[in-house]
Amino acid sequence: MSVTDNLSIQLYTLRSLEDLDLILDTVAEAGYRHVEAVGSHLDKAAEVRAKLDARSLKASSSHVSMAALREKPDAIVEACRTLGLTDLYMPAVPPDERDMAADGWRSLGRELGQIAERFQDDGIRLGYHNHHWELKPKDGAKTALELIFEAAGSSPLTWQVDVAWLVRGNADPKQWIDRYRSRITAAHVKDIAPAGQNEDQDGWADVGSGTLDWRDLWRVCRAAGAKWMVVEHDKPADPGQTARNSFAFLRTIED
């Protein structure tokens, strides 16, 4: 199996290009065959699907807001069917909720678990995508991320592990991946620049040019069950070059 069979790119990475046709042309020309959509793409799924088909691209997955999950689950299911994807991830809570107390994170975990149950009936897997703020202790030594998964219990809630954000949260990604491997269905593949570099890019780097060993981490994530490996850069100086550089590096990895 080729690495590119499981490789996708989060279209948020190229948002500064603004025009979806230009964004999709850029990723297709870089070599990608799959893309991870953002929530707004679900609102115009038929249009997005046509643009993907025109470039022989497929949607691997999509992010979706908590508000949308609560307010229009049926429409989300229909959009997933239109786009031909079965993996959804709630990417982040709103900024004013990121410092909430333990009970808030438990409540979120229970609710996500319940929604995951409902979506499972429609053949869709719902997961959570982490940043670094979920690594803060909220109940003794228990972090927010632990509370989410604990409260989700035996529900089918999955996890899109963002490895670089775990590192930014001073966590050992391999320990977390091993601990919650039963929930992992995807990983975000992003890199961290050496200290003091790429400050205009919030310290992020193109995959393969930073401090993370993605040859090793790729295998760790795949072994833990990550079906999709999704390139992302939160603030690239040149999104097209980031897409090309990351693809060029990752295609050299033997899966």
For residue 241 the two structure tokens come to: 């070059």
Residues 6+ apart with CB under 8 A from 124: 77, 80, 86, 87, 88
pLDDT tops 60 at residue 56: yes
pLDDT in tens, 57-111: 999 999 999 999 999 999 999 999 999 999 999 999 999 999 999 999 999 999 9
Strand partners, 70: none
Return the percentage of the chain with pLDDT > 70, whole number.
99
Distance of alpha carbon 85 from alpha carbon 44, whole angstroms = 14
Cα–Cα distance, 124 to 233 (Å, whole number): 26
What per-residue confidence (pLDDT) applies to 255?
A: 54
| pLDDT of residue 51 exceeding 90 | yes
| 229: three-class secondary structure by DSSP | strand
How high is the pLDDT of residue 3?
83
φ, ψ of residue 132 in degrees (nearest 5): -95, -20
Q: How far apart are CA 8 and CA 35, in angstroms?
A: 5
Q: Above 90 in pLDDT, residue 201?
A: yes
**Looking at the predicted structure, is the pLDDT value of residue 1 above 80?**
no
What pTM was estimated for this model as a whole?
A: 0.95
Q: What is the mean pLDDT of the chain?
A: 96
Report how far residue 49's alpha carbon sits from residue 16's, in angstroms, rounded to the nearest whole number: 21
- Report pLDDT for 21: 98
Enter the tokens of residue 173: 């990604």
- What's the average model confidence in pLDDT over 221-245? 97
State the average pLDDT over residues 47-52.
98
- 83 backbone dihedrals φ, ψ, rounded to 5°: -80, -15
What's the count of helices (H) and strands (E) in the chain, helices before strands?
11, 12
pLDDT value at residue 254: 67
Rounded mean pLDDT of 167-174? 97
151-156 mean pLDDT: 98
Beta strands in the chain (DSSP E): 7-10, 34-37, 58-63, 87-90, 125-129, 137-139, 142-143, 158-162, 184-189, 191-192, 204-205, 228-231
3-state SS class at 244: helix
Convert the pLDDT of each residue in 106-151 to its tens digit.
999 999 999 999 999 999 999 999 999 999 999 888 999 999 999 9
